[in-house]
Structure 1
Amino acid sequence: MKNKLNLIKKPIALLLCSLLLFVSCGDINDTPNEALIDPANLTSVNSLKLATIGMFKTITSATRRTNSFQNAFGGDDITSSAANNKLRFQTMDKRTFDNSNEDLIWQWGRPYSVIEATNFILENESNIETKSLDEKNQLNLFIGEAYFVRAYFYFELTNNFGKIPLVLSTQLDSKTPKSEIIDVYKQIESDLLKAESLLPNKHPDVSVGIKPNKGSAKAILAKLYMHWAGWPLKGGTDMYKKAATKAKEVINNAGTHGFALVSDMNTLWTEEESERLNSEIVWGAAHAQHVDNHFSNRVTGSVAFPTEAGGWNEIFSEIKYFEDFPAGPRKDATFITEIKIIREDKLLPDGTDRTTPLPLGTIVSWEDLDTGARPMFKKAIGQGDITLINPRNSNTRITSYFMRYSDLLLLYAEAEGRSGGNSPDAWRAINDVRDRAYGVGNHNDDRSAGLAETAFKERKWELGGEFKRWYDLVRMERVESILTANRSPRESIDKVISGWGDLSPNNYFVPIPQEEIDRAPHLAD
């Protein structure tokens, strides 16, 4: 632990560029310069602003690769390739992993690097001198951002690892014990409530949620209460009520916070400047690939293309998920079913040789690819003419959505239902999402499953491929019942790993990586 978490004791290297991570490249006029900020020099609002820029830089670094979302491959929406170098994703998919998985250290260490940056800011709050009301407001903004970000990444850590060390200071103890999950949740709640009180209704620098505002804090609080209600803490009805109440506060003031559904889902996963920073971002990260690839999005692009198209064969839709997905504009915006061959394809789907290999440039269905044939996520590949998208682009500017407004609408409806409510507003929230998914008037407003289960099912389709489904299954303890019932016999990974690992709650969390335990043996307890 100590070696992973003690970097903050040194002067912190910050990349300085006005809103570097959060605006279009056209707004960046100067070449970014590096500067060192020593804690002794963090005494002004301006120096604190530079520290927060550094904090947001670590967020992009921590979330820019699929390594950061490995646990989510356990959901029934996402799978990977049967290739040998994708074993770390295959074992997450089949729940057969152990703590030797080489990428667990990324999922563990990167969030803590963000938390280091937040602790640095919060610990120096009392050193900041404010000379005007404007500077006081700026101080509140930066401190509110730090509380929000720390809460979010502790939420990510505990959702993946369960009991974790709570590090709230830059004065670190290498023997910091793991905290109980309830204590981690209480700390997250405390941080988010502070963020809610300090953050403005809308961020003064950006109009969308790539920097958090008061509505972002309320929305993540609603998500926290939603998970608190379910497994593993099982807070029940009271927590569902809190989740519904907090989510409804955001929805009632969505315009104030700048939140709204975009009319066309196809505009959400694009690199177009006019569309990638949009009103559906409740909390997320923008990317600036052309400034430095360290600010790009590598969860999109090459990772989502098959080998025959020049891609990395890393993230795909499960076949049954694609087959069951309701037809309509949302399905069209979620998947790509044809691809252009740029590497000679010599195999049939059953693994036998083709008599005549498909020539380069051929447009083929996903079903005509090799033994790893799977539908592709347009959310990961990006929007546009598939014959023109560069499959070898491993660094894109597609926005990372940690929470979309549609996610919040459906969370509200589900929480309302699970707390015993059945309000027209909750059904309206579901139907706002459905109207876009199918077209206004093209769905039957089916309510036969009840409010909570209708919203839960709608989340499955709306948020597919966004690393959300696994955590929904976990909080409802439905992993085994869903995974064993919704698997196509054509899934290629099943030819590599036969059968399932432990699908019980005993295996919902991933283990702390062995590399970390070697440094801090007490974490093995």
Structure 2
Amino acid sequence: MKNYKLKVGVLLSSALMMVAVSCSDEFLDVPATGALAEAQLTTLAGLEASLIAAYSQVNGRGNRLASPSNWVWGSIRGGDANKGTDPGDFSTINPIQRFEINAASGEVGSKWNADYEGIARANNVLRLMANKAADVTVADEARISAQAKFLRAHYYFELKRDYGNTPYVDETVDYGSGLEEVSNTQDLYPFIEADLKFAIANLPAVPSQVGRINSWGAKALLAKVYLYQKKYAEAKTLFDDVIANGVTSKGDKYGLVANYGDMYRGANDNHKESVWVYQAAANTGSTANANPEFDLNYPYNGGPAGCCGFFQPSFTFANSFRTDANGLPLLDGSYNAPANRVKNDMGILSFDPLKPSENVFTPDAGPLDPRIDHTIGRRDLPYLDWGNHPGAAWIRNQPNGGPYTPKKYIYQRAEIGKFQDGSSWTAGYTGMNFMMIRFADVLLMAAEVEVEVGSLEKARDYVNMIRTRAMNSNLKTGGVDAANYKIGLYTTPFASAAAARSAVRFERKLELGMEGHRFYDLVRWDIIQSEMDAYFALDGSILTAALGGAKYTDKYKFVPIPQDQIDLVGPEILIQNPGF
């Protein structure tokens, strides 16, 4: 399968030379070992296998910076988290978090290559379908093609958000006939919309197998695509339909899981909050079937996996969970003021009997949204079922990443060998699915739309639904709350569209934190500069070696087009993003 980049198709000069010098072409009739003829792939079984290959690319196939969680591109760039660990470990992430990456960086090409590989696989399904075998019915063709087009739309949407416009290639391009130069001057959104509309029209509400995309997931993604373009009326129609009528791949009606933390447990995979989900399985004989999303992103030197200390929640993000006397967030940004900052154990040893005065840690006693302790590992509080978080003992390098550890999508001790796969170099592979769109995300996107069309009360209803679930998810220890949890509802109408907008946007930060959304949200809201300035002002002043002097500038709202791709066809064909 070609991983076409800009020049679509490759002239195989060595093969041409072999043909030119041979006195007979009989050797060409010998089939390649392990190869499948096209006739085998155009059967129903062959098409289904090709479609599975297109699905499998969603997780990036071992490329950590191409993963659908966007833990680097969405969360670290958005200030939810710092890279963490040691400065020299996976050091190519350092310039990404500092907004200093350039077009020659290999990491710039990692997401690009993985998404175009996914597009190639989806296009391959559609190309094979043109010569479908007799056992492929009209219904089969519609069902398989719809899934392939949904996946192609997903990959192009990922490219659009990261790089802006990129070359568009579909199944009609004959990339085996020679060198075809493809530019990036076309807007990707019309193509993405067309694929998703086809998918919606041809996908079942409940698919034949759990894990395959259904029409509701396609509607949710199309509504999200509309939202990014500020097509609020079109987005509202779809969001209303998904919220009122949507069902999971199991046929259950969408809803909020009663306890916030239960969403991230393997035994609950494909629960009623699952809208568009990447499937994973552990202990199948190959970690290729497991979820590689966060294999580096566990506490260091203890607890689950014991490696490798990446993806540490930021000070700014932790402070965002501070609430006022009514249990509401501090929407004015005062959560980063010294009096409101969450107390932590930065610079304090976990335990050293020779230096008892250095072990003193005073836990935070102020009011906090309980979602902080479902999202962030904090000292002396329960870390799932691994016992209390010991603090610095689980941190690889506090001065480089801070005192916190991630907590979502971390396997429990009880899940070892069930939803955790220890057959590779790390114990960090899991059988837990990753939710790319979950129902709370849909509700909050719908709330955004309601604000923009003037339905402030409907937006307040949606936000309060999210907050009500959070109220019921307090972390307990010994039968009592583990911290001073205080969360309330918005009990009076929003004073203005601006006030409603602020509340909805902050709720996304709290609800969806560390799930790869933040940077993309800030860019589309056009508030990225002020938010990143506040993040660097605090986190950069504490983690001076990692973040000191770093600053966001507007050219970084998109990743640069990989320089090696431009070199293939020239800068007049593939246009670099401004500023690079």
- CA distance in 1: counterparts of 2:282 and 2:568, whole angstroms: 35
Residue aligned with 2:390, SS: strand
Among 228, 231, 236, the alignment partner of 1:244 is 236
Which residue pairs with 2:215 in the alignment?
214
- Is 1:480 matched up with 2:480? no
- Is 1:88 matched up with 2:92? yes
- Is 1:253 matched up with 2:241? no
Residue aligned with 1:76, SS: coil
Higher deviation after alignment, 120-129 or 361-370: 361-370
Shift of residue 419 of structure 1? 2.4
Over 3 Å counting, the alpha-carbon distance change for 1:130 and 1:406 in structure 2 is farther
Shift of residue 371 of structure 1? 2.0
- CA distance in 2: counterparts of 1:374 and 1:44, whole angstroms: 55
Shift of residue 80 of structure 1? 0.7
- CA distance in 2: counterparts of 1:508 and 1:148, whole angstroms: 25
- CA distance in 2: counterparts of 1:35 and 1:329, whole angstroms: 54
Alignment of 1:100-111 (within 5 A): 100-111=104-115
Shift of residue 175 of structure 1? 4.5
The answer to whether the 8 Å contact 2:297/2:308 transfers is yes
- CA distance in 1: counterparts of 2:180 and 2:315, whole angstroms: 45
- CA distance in 1: counterparts of 2:445 and 2:377, whole angstroms: 27
Alignment-mate amino acid for residue 379 of structure 1: K
- CA distance in 2: counterparts of 1:120 and 1:407, whole angstroms: 31
Q: How many pairs are equivalent?
A: 463
Which residue pairs with 1:429 in the alignment?
462
Which residue pairs with 1:155 in the alignment?
157
Alignment-mate amino acid for residue 477 of structure 1: D
Alignment of 1:117-516 (within 5 A): 117-129=121-133, 135-169=137-171, 171-172=174-175, 174-180=179-185, 183-206=187-210, 210-229=211-230, 239-255=231-247, 258=252, 259-271=254-266, 274-291=267-284, 292-306=286-300, 310-326=306-322, 327-338=368-379, 364-366=390-392, 369=395, 370-372=398-400, 373-383=402-412, 392-424=426-458, 426-439=459-472, 443-446=488-491, 447-448=494-495, 450-487=499-536, 488-489=538-539, 493-504=543-554, 506-516=555-565
Q: Render the CA deviation track for 1:340-392: whole Å, top value 9, x for unaligned.
A: 9xxxxxxxxxxxxxxxxxxxx99522599532333112114334589999995
Higher deviation after alignment, 460-469 or 384-393: 384-393
The answer to whether the 8 Å contact 1:99/1:512 transfers is yes
Shift of residue 394 of structure 1? 2.6
Residue aligned with 2:450, SS: helix
Alignment-mate amino acid for residue 430 of structure 2: T
Over 3 Å counting, the alpha-carbon distance change for 1:287 and 1:254 in structure 2 is same
Over 3 Å counting, the alpha-carbon distance change for 1:438 and 1:184 in structure 2 is same
- CA distance in 2: counterparts of 1:8 and 1:460, whole angstroms: 43
Higher deviation after alignment, 54-63 or 100-109: 54-63
The answer to whether the 8 Å contact 1:105/1:513 transfers is yes
Q: Render the CA deviation track for 1:201-244: whole Å, top value 9, x for unaligned.
A: 111211xxx32101011100111011112xxxxxxxxx122112
Which residue pairs with 1:28 in the alignment?
none
- CA distance in 2: counterparts of 1:490 and 1:503, whole angstroms: 15
Over 3 Å counting, the alpha-carbon distance change for 1:491 and 1:287 in structure 2 is farther
Shift of residue 461 of structure 1? 0.8
Alignment-mate amino acid for residue 376 of structure 1: T
- CA distance in 2: counterparts of 1:131 and 1:362, whole angstroms: 58
Following TM superposition, the consecutive aligned residue runs of length 4 or more in structure 1 with deviations greater than 6 angstroms are: 6-10, 385-391
The answer to whether the 8 Å contact 1:330/1:437 transfers is yes
- CA distance in 2: counterparts of 1:386 and 1:194, whole angstroms: 39
Query: What runs of 5+ residues in structure 2 fail to find an aligned partner?
Result: 12-32, 323-367, 382-386, 474-485
- CA distance in 2: counterparts of 1:365 and 1:47, whole angstroms: 52
- CA distance in 2: counterparts of 1:212 and 1:202, whole angstroms: 9
Over 3 Å counting, the alpha-carbon distance change for 1:481 and 1:490 in structure 2 is closer
The answer to whether the 8 Å contact 1:71/1:510 transfers is no
Over 3 Å counting, the alpha-carbon distance change for 1:97 and 1:339 in structure 2 is farther
Shift of residue 3 of structure 1? 6.2
- CA distance in 1: counterparts of 2:169 and 2:447, whole angstroms: 34
Shift of residue 185 of structure 1? 0.3
Shift of residue 171 of structure 1? 2.1
Q: Render the CA deviation track for 1:97-133: whole Å, top value 9, x for unaligned.
A: 112322222211001111111101112323225669x
Over 3 Å counting, the alpha-carbon distance change for 1:384 and 1:163 in structure 2 is same
Which residue pairs with 2:328 in the alignment?
none
The answer to whether the 8 Å contact 2:79/2:535 transfers is yes
Residue aligned with 1:402, SS: strand
Residue aligned with 1:379, SS: coil
Over 3 Å counting, the alpha-carbon distance change for 1:277 and 1:492 in structure 2 is farther
- CA distance in 1: counterparts of 2:302 and 2:87, whole angstroms: 13
The answer to whether the 8 Å contact 1:166/1:179 transfers is yes
Shift of residue 289 of structure 1? 3.1
**TM-score with structure 1 length normalisation?**
0.79
Over 3 Å counting, the alpha-carbon distance change for 1:493 and 1:399 in structure 2 is farther
Q: Calculate the aligned-residue CA RMSD, in Å.
A: 3.4
The answer to whether the 8 Å contact 1:287/1:399 transfers is yes
Over 3 Å counting, the alpha-carbon distance change for 1:106 and 1:489 in structure 2 is closer
Over 3 Å counting, the alpha-carbon distance change for 1:277 and 1:386 in structure 2 is closer
Which residue pairs with 1:358 in the alignment?
none
The answer to whether the 8 Å contact 1:94/1:501 transfers is yes
Query: What runs of 5+ residues in structure 1 fail to find an aligned partner?
Result: 11-33, 230-238, 341-360
The answer to whether the 8 Å contact 1:65/1:297 transfers is no
Alignment-mate amino acid for residue 545 of structure 2: K
Among the aligned pairs, what percent are the same residue? 24
- CA distance in 2: counterparts of 1:124 and 1:167, whole angstroms: 16
Over 3 Å counting, the alpha-carbon distance change for 1:397 and 1:491 in structure 2 is farther
Shift of residue 317 of structure 1? 0.8
The answer to whether the 8 Å contact 1:261/1:405 transfers is yes
**TM-score with structure 2 length normalisation?**
0.72
Q: Which has the higher helix share?
A: 1
Higher deviation after alignment, 162-171 or 185-194: 162-171
Alignment-mate amino acid for residue 402 of structure 1: M
Shift of residue 36 of structure 1? 4.6
Alignment-mate amino acid for residue 53 of structure 1: I
- CA distance in 1: counterparts of 2:87 and 2:64, whole angstroms: 18
Shift of residue 423 of structure 1? 4.6
- CA distance in 2: counterparts of 1:123 and 1:453, whole angstroms: 46
Q: Render the CA deviation track for 1:156-184: whole Å, top value 9, x for unaligned.
A: 01110112110113522654333346x20
Higher deviation after alignment, 186-195 or 395-404: 395-404
Alignment-mate amino acid for residue 266 of structure 1: G
Over 3 Å counting, the alpha-carbon distance change for 1:482 and 1:77 in structure 2 is same
Q: Render the CA deviation track for 1:314-345: whole Å, top value 9, x for unaligned.
A: 211111211221434422211211489xxxxx
